[in-house]
Amino acid sequence: MTHTLIYPAHAVHNAAGHLQIDGCDVIDLVAEHGTPLMIYEEKTLRDQCRKFMQAFRDRTDDFEVVYASKAFCTLAVCRLVEQEGLSIDVSSGGEYHTALRAGFPTERMFYHGNNKTRWELEYALANGVGYVVVDSFSELDTLERMVADRGGVQKILLRITPGIEAHTHSYIQTGQLDSKFGFGLTEGHAAEAIRRGLEAPHLELAGLHAHIGSQIFELEGFRKAISILVDLVKEAHEAFGFECRYLNIGGGLGIRYTEEDTPVTIEEYVEGKVSGVRQEMARVGLPVPRVLVEPGRSIVAKAGVTAYTVGTIKEIPGIRTYVSVDGGMSDNLRPMLYDARYEAMIANRADAPADTVVTVAGKHCESGDVLVKNARIARPELGDILVMPATGAYCFGMASNYNGNPRPAVVMVKDGAVRTIVERETYDDLIAKQRPFQG
């Protein structure tokens, strides 16, 4: 197997020369479930969770690993991360609902969003939610009133925007001053939010949160964010006696999409966060809070691959060869949206040398619907099964029905056994919510 770094841990080439994932031949899987098919390896999913948990346990007792469910929010994955002892971040009523229906304990849920609707908040308060991560002054006021009406006290964190530009695509930077998220540090907004949070009788301000961006390869930005948050903690401690018990430093750990990518390891990421918080709290002479991180991509991306069928091959001499597959921007928007790079392979000839450079295109009516530019694969033939690795994060979640394409099926494999975790949509699903129109 030549691609182990970007494939699920138990991906091999089997005797038939096929890609096999934890005992399941990908060609058999697509024969049964069709394409496009998303295949997740359960062991890799659990392993990523365990690496985070172990890296923390080796360093501290007071931590929480909060899975950012936006990366892949399904009943199966919510259940699995719960079993592994993680908490969960939900960023909408729909993600909250999915986690709730998966049986996720509400006290381990963190509810995010810069514009949670009143209805969404009602739904979460009625069924219980561990922490609401409050994003704005108006939300502080609304939440206080809503909890007062219901009775009781709701635990909250405040989302702080530390004013840091993480080194990543501008669409997935979130910590910079010019951001729709959170309380900025200018004009004393963040300190004012802490003051109001402490004063609100029906809110219990447990701590602070910051998320600076996603697919980040350097620890430096996280260190800066911690330092800025801790300065704020000190200021608020001196001004209003604020005791920060929880410091949630967000997600953002980058992953390997291609062989050339060089992200830091989970171990290094956790070490950076735990030691960073310790050192910074020592600097200001205050007790070390619980350290929380919110990984999404780094839990699920590597566990998932997408299998497509090659439908047409168009050679434009001297320019390029387009290999078109039966999916594309409706099941993986990331190349179009972020210029994200991926690799590909022909799964039915996994042993054949990858000696042909092609452009993998989708089937949608847009020229920009390209999945991989200059992919190096075995010489493609019609009917081949083309697999793209590292599609486990932010692909299914951002999928659409563009051009009337039903969303793909998703299966989970383990020890040669396969379970469907999401059924393929049907054409009738596409129109299920539509009503006939008599003109």
30-to-77, 381, 392, 409, 411 alpha-carbon distances in Å: 21, 17, 17, 10, 10
Phi and psi of 113, rounded to 5°?
Answer: 140, 140
- Kindly name the residue from 49, 73, 78, 365 that is annotated as catalytic: 365
- What distance in Å separates the CA atoms of residue 412 and residue 39, rounded to the nearest whole number? 6
In sign, the C-alpha dihedral spanning 49, 52, 53, 54 is positive
Quick one: which of 162, 197, 252, 276 contacts ligand LLP (CB under 6 A)?
A: 252
Quick one: which of 10, 297, 302, 364 contacts ligand LLP (CB under 6 A)?
A: 297
Structure tokens at 88: 């969960």
| 336: contact with ligand LLP by CB under 6 A | no
Q: Which of residues 165-204 bind ligand LLP (CB under 6 A)?
A: 172, 174
Quick one: which of 163, 175, 197, 250 contacts ligand LLP (CB under 6 A)?
A: 250
Smallest distance from ligand LLP to CB 3, Å: 21
Per-residue string for binding with ligand LLP, 214-243, x by CB under 6 A?
A: xx----------------------------
Quick one: which of 18, 33, 334, 364 contacts ligand LLP (CB under 6 A)?
A: 334
Using the minimum distance from each CB to ligand LLP, give the nearer residue, 18 or 67.
67
| 162: contact with ligand LLP by CB under 6 A | no
| 394: contact with ligand LLP by CB under 6 A | yes
Using the minimum distance from each CB to ligand LLP, give the nearer residue, 213 or 380.
213
Q: How many CA atoms lie within 13 A of 157 on its CB side?
A: 31
Query: Measured at CB, which residue is nearest to ligand LLP?
Result: 251
Closest to 107 (Cα-Cα) out of 129, 85, 135, 81: 129
- What distance in Å separates the CA atoms of residue 335 and residue 344, rounded to the nearest whole number? 13
- What distance in Å separates the CA atoms of residue 124 and residue 120, rounded to the nearest whole number? 6
Smallest distance from ligand LLP to CB 367, Å: 21
| 386: contact with ligand LLP by CB under 6 A | no
51-to-65, 248, 257, 433 alpha-carbon distances in Å: 11, 18, 19, 42
Q: Which of residues 8-67 bind ligand LLP (CB under 6 A)?
A: none
Q: How many CA atoms lie within 13 A of 399 on its CB side?
A: 27
- What distance in Å separates the CA atoms of residue 304 and residue 23, rounded to the nearest whole number? 15
- Type of residue found at 338: Y
Is 73 annotated as catalytic? Answer: no
Smallest distance from ligand LLP to CB 395, Å: 8
Phi and psi of 272, rounded to 5°?
Answer: -60, -40
Using the minimum distance from each CB to ligand LLP, give the nearer residue, 14 or 179.
179
Omega prior to 36 cis, within 30 of 0: yes
Q: Are 142 and 134 in contact (CB under 8 A)?
A: no
- What distance in Å separates the CA atoms of residue 129 and residue 340, rounded to the nearest whole number? 34
Quick one: which of 51, 211, 349, 407 contacts ligand LLP (CB under 6 A)?
A: 211
Closest to 336 (Cα-Cα) out of 312, 358, 360: 360
Smallest distance from ligand LLP to CB 249, Å: 10
Quick one: which of 296, 328, 389, 408 contacts ligand LLP (CB under 6 A)?
A: 296
End-to-end CA distance of the chain: 59
Closest to 265 (Cα-Cα) out of 293, 298, 297, 290: 298
Smallest distance from ligand LLP to CB 252, Å: 4
Residues binding ligand LLP: number (CB under 6 A): 22
Using the minimum distance from each CB to ligand LLP, give the nearer residue, 12 or 337.
337
| 251: contact with ligand LLP by CB under 6 A | yes
Quick one: which of 38, 71, 329, 361 contacts ligand LLP (CB under 6 A)?
A: 71
Smallest distance from ligand LLP to CB 113, Å: 9
Structure tokens at 111: 């509810």
Smallest distance from ligand LLP to CB 426, Å: 27
| 90: contact with ligand LLP by CB under 6 A | no
Structure tokens at 179: 């951001």
| 112: contact with ligand LLP by CB under 6 A | yes
Quick one: which of 200, 253, 325, 412 contacts ligand LLP (CB under 6 A)?
A: 253
Instruction: Summarize as ranges the residues that interact with ligand LLP (CB under 6 A).
Output: 68, 70-71, 89, 112, 172, 174, 211, 214-215, 250-253, 294-298, 334, 338, 394
Catalytic residues, which ones?
Answer: 365
